[in-house]
Amino acid sequence: MDFTHIDKNGNAIMVDISDKDITDRVAVASGYIKLNEEIISSIKNMSNKKGDVLSVARIAGIMAVKNTSSAIPLCHTLLINKCKVDFKIDEQNYTVKSTCTVSCTGKTGVEMEALHGVSIALLTIYDMCKAIDKSMVIYDIHLDEKSGGKSGDYHAR
């Protein structure tokens, strides 16, 4: 079996993308955090003692996207064209959905960047709200879609 990230001696390597075509690439990832009513209220009313939860989480998600190659060892460093982190509060189900959209023009995709961005945004919500309740649950982080590159388009079912 040929491994893409291991050389003939079993050493970890970064994949050589020298011969890949430069294409426009976009990835969208999302995930959720389950909260309680008090936390939802503190987020909506901006009454959390640590400050504006979603603004801080948005910045954290964007920073995560920009630093994905520092956190995931074999990811390439990319020049990001655009990054957007959004949130949707669902008061009935006590959840916040985070969506991270990333685009670049390059030789490798931005799926890991989008997944990393949404993960850190949700972790930041947890960090900002843990003084209220530590039983929050982060779940269902996944790739929604991606376009560009050799493997073409992907849309989650």
75 is known to lie in a ligand binding site: yes
Asked if pLDDT for residue 103 goes beyond 70, the answer is yes
Range 22-37 average pLDDT:
97
Domain ranges of the chain: 23-146
Q: Which is the CATH superfamily of the domain at 23-146? A: Molybdopterin cofactor biosynthesis C (MoaC) domain (3.30.70.640)
Asked if pLDDT for residue 62 goes beyond 90, the answer is yes
Task: Give residue 4's pLDDT.
Answer: 84
Asked if pLDDT for residue 1 goes beyond 80, the answer is no
* pTM of structure: 0.94
Asked if pLDDT for residue 143 goes beyond 80, the answer is yes
**Mind giving me the DSSP string for 13-33?**
-----TTSPPEEEEEEEEEEE
Query: 125-139, pLDDT tens digit by residue?
Result: 999 999 999 999 999
14 is known to lie in a ligand binding site: no
78 is known to lie in a ligand binding site: no
- Alpha-helical segments (H) within the chain: 37-44, 53-66, 68-71, 111-129
Q: How confident is the model at residue 142 (pLDDT cuts 50, 70, 90)?
A: very high
CA distances from 97 to 15, 42, 72, 94 (A): 33, 16, 23, 10
What residues are annotated to the active site?
Answer: 127
Round the average pLDDT of the chain to a whole number and report it: 95
* C-alpha triplet 50, 56, 61: angle, nearest 5°: 145
Range 110-130 average pLDDT:
98
The pLDDT > 90 percentage for the chain reads 87
Helix (H, G, I), strand (E, B) or coil at 89: strand
